[in-house]
Amino acid sequence: MVRDVHLAEYAVFGILMGANLAVGLYFALNRRSRRMNSDEAFLGSRTLGIVPLSLSILATLVSAIGVVGFTAHFYTYGLHWLWSLVPLLFLVPVVSRIVVPVFYNLKITSVFEYLRLRFGNKMGIIACFINFVISMVLGAVSTFAAGVAISTAFHFPSLWSILATGAACTIYTAFGGFRGVIWTDAMQAILILVCPLTVVIKIIYDSSYGPDVNLRRPVDDVDIQPYFLEASFDLTKEENVWACIFGSIAPNMYRMGVGQMIVQRYAAAKSLEEAQSTVYLGNTLFFVTFALLGVVGMSLIYWYRDCDPFLLGAISRVDQLVPYYVGTRLSGFPGFSGLFLTGVVSATLSTVSSAINSLAATFYIDVLLPYMSFSEDQANMVTKALAFGFGASMTLLAIIVPYLESAVRLFTILQSSAAGPFVGLYILALAFPWANSKGAVTSTILVLALQLWALIGKFSSGPRPPKMAVTLDSCPANFTRVDGNATLAWTTHEQRGENVFPLYMLSAYWGGFFSMVLTVVVGLLISVMTGGGEQAGRHIGLTSDVFIRFWKRLKLLPDSDADSNSEDGKTGTVQLNDITDISSNW
């Protein structure tokens, strides 16, 4: 039973959100002591500390998709996506030692500046398009998830909640600066950590002292295998151990290593050593927070598995599960629902503002600036217009999300599909000095086209993963089922169409992993066939020194080429004004 919203909820929500926005507004307006150039606008003049940057990484990575969507996903499809944390154990050192030194020493603002240096302008634009797809989906699904949370907990119309959330993120981003975003993120990160804790603590309390504690089965009365330990190598299944471990490599590498939103934060550090420390601290915070979201999912499984709100007819989408719990169980404690909603909206503001800012920055730097010139006032107007345009587009896209899959399933499928070729492209650039622009462009386009084809087929006729078994056996006596036939809507076995094309049957998680590998293999083959080996010496300064030493040890790289990379002891000695000379060879 949904209770009326207490005035304290609105007060807590309004005060905390107002404080968050005030921090961003303060830094946006308090610019008299600093010259507002592109370095300050996009990187905070590279003077930001490890702690605020790390908290900002947490706030950016944990969006409303995580707080609302992933917890509902864990409840509905199982906890296997928690295995995606395993690749972080080796990806964090890889990013810190291989990726960050190259980007930081080049003093770049956009990751696509590096691609333009390495492969030419055409490749930079193609990568911008891939980033556009990933960022738009991330922003839209985050906006939708926050809108659903507000709508369900505060009883506002869903459409208006989505529009209000999107408008707030867009306006906040267009008028704020990077320094303000970082410090606002740091405040919001604390709220993001508190948000899931409120749910866990309340369920623990109710399971011990609540009036209906005897209605629920013990915690240990659950078959853990379908929830967490399905370990088959069936490439058509998404919810199993191996699919989530291997399938999460490309999305994790994108999010924490080569995505524009995160690379901006590494580049804003005071030194390379602090940037590398930010990698470790920021991703450790993310690891802990995502594991905490898994605990929320387990808590909801315990609480609702024998009185499922979807079967009961209390909610129409699984994405509403967490807000439904907040509205029915936390509303008895004035202020708790407002605190939870603040955490959800804070997560959305951080993620969506970062997505809008990165899209506007990369479009301006990598698409417009190479071909057009702007005065300082014109540049200011153009970047604001771009921010408004991308923010409005994300909001409109968020409106159609409920007509597709669940928010998290849509996000993970699209991100896995696009992240595979994107990460494969950066592996080519950072690890293989023989890779040339012909190989990189051709392989990326071919693999991306293949992924889009598979994606369209999967949404139209591909299999749907099974949902975990739930019942209505232990609902309290004062609950009534809204729809007597609601049990028919919950499918606990995998749905497969007849005569489905094999490519459409492939798990999107496995598809993302294979597309990453295929991009590297095809790119190398084409590069070798088009004279890439003869051009390796020109790319030494843009290749990680770890791989330079490795190829030298294997005698695959001449000593004269390898030594040219260590004359000054640093990777990335090519300067940004060399872009035109390099790209002209395409």
Q: What is the pLDDT along the chain (586 residues), one digit of tens a residue?
A: 455 667 877 888 888 877 777 776 676 666 545 555 566 667 777 888 999 999 989 988 887 677 888 898 899 999 999 999 999 999 999 999 999 999 999 988 888 889 988 998 888 788 888 788 778 888 888 888 778 778 877 778 888 888 888 887 787 677 766 777 787 788 888 888 888 888 898 888 888 876 666 677 777 777 888 889 988 888 888 889 999 999 999 999 998 999 888 998 999 899 999 999 999 999 999 999 999 999 999 999 999 988 899 888 888 888 788 888 888 888 777 777 788 888 878 777 778 888 887 888 788 888 788 788 877 777 778 877 888 898 899 999 888 877 665 556 666 677 767 788 989 999 999 999 999 999 999 999 999 889 888 877 777 766 677 888 888 887 876 665 555 444 434 555 555 556 677 888 888 889 889 999 999 999 999 999 998 877 778 888 899 999 999 998 988 877 655 555 544 444 444 444 443 343 333 3
What H or E segment, with its residue span, contains residue 87?
A: none
Using CA atoms, how far apart are residues 577 and 266, in angstroms rounded to an integer?
Answer: 22
What's the total number of domains in the chain? Answer: 1
Using CA atoms, how far apart are residues 104 and 101, in angstroms rounded to an integer?
Answer: 5
Sign of the torsion angle spanned by Cα atoms 266, 270, 272, 273:
negative
Domain holding 521, by residue range, is 48-583
- Is 566 within 8 Å of 107 (Cβ atoms)? no
Please, which residues have CB within 8 angstroms of residue 375's CB and are 6 or more apart in sequence? none
Write out the two tokens for 33: 């002591």
pLDDT in the model for residue 478:
62
Using CA atoms, how far apart are residues 158 and 150, in angstroms rounded to an integer?
Answer: 8
Q: Name the DSSP letter for residue 4.
A: P
* Domain-embedded: residue 43: no
* Domain-embedded: residue 253: yes
* Domain-embedded: residue 17: no
Using CA atoms, how far apart are residues 339 and 11, in angstroms rounded to an integer?
Answer: 10
* Domain-embedded: residue 468: yes
* Domain-embedded: residue 19: no
pTM of the model: 0.84
* Domain-embedded: residue 14: no
Nearest Cα to 431, choosing from 43, 102, 123? 102
pLDDT in the model for residue 430:
95
DSSP 395-464: HHHHHHGGGSS-HHHHHHHHHHHHHHHHHHHHHHHHH-TT--HHHHHHHHHHHHHHHHHHHHHHHHH--B
Using CA atoms, how far apart are residues 438 and 529, in angstroms rounded to an integer?
Answer: 10
- Is 457 within 8 Å of 504 (Cβ atoms)? yes
pLDDT in the model for residue 436:
92
* Domain-embedded: residue 396: yes
pLDDT in the model for residue 33:
52
Bridge partners (DSSP) of residue 495 are 464
pLDDT in the model for residue 100:
96
pLDDT in the model for residue 35:
55
- Is 509 within 8 Å of 515 (Cβ atoms)? no
* Domain-embedded: residue 80: yes
Report residue 558 CA to chain centroid gap. 40
Burial letters for 244-268: b for 16+ Cβ neighbours within 10 Å, e otherwise? bbbbbbbbbbbbbbbbbbbbbbbbb
CATH number for the domain including 421? 1.20.1730.10
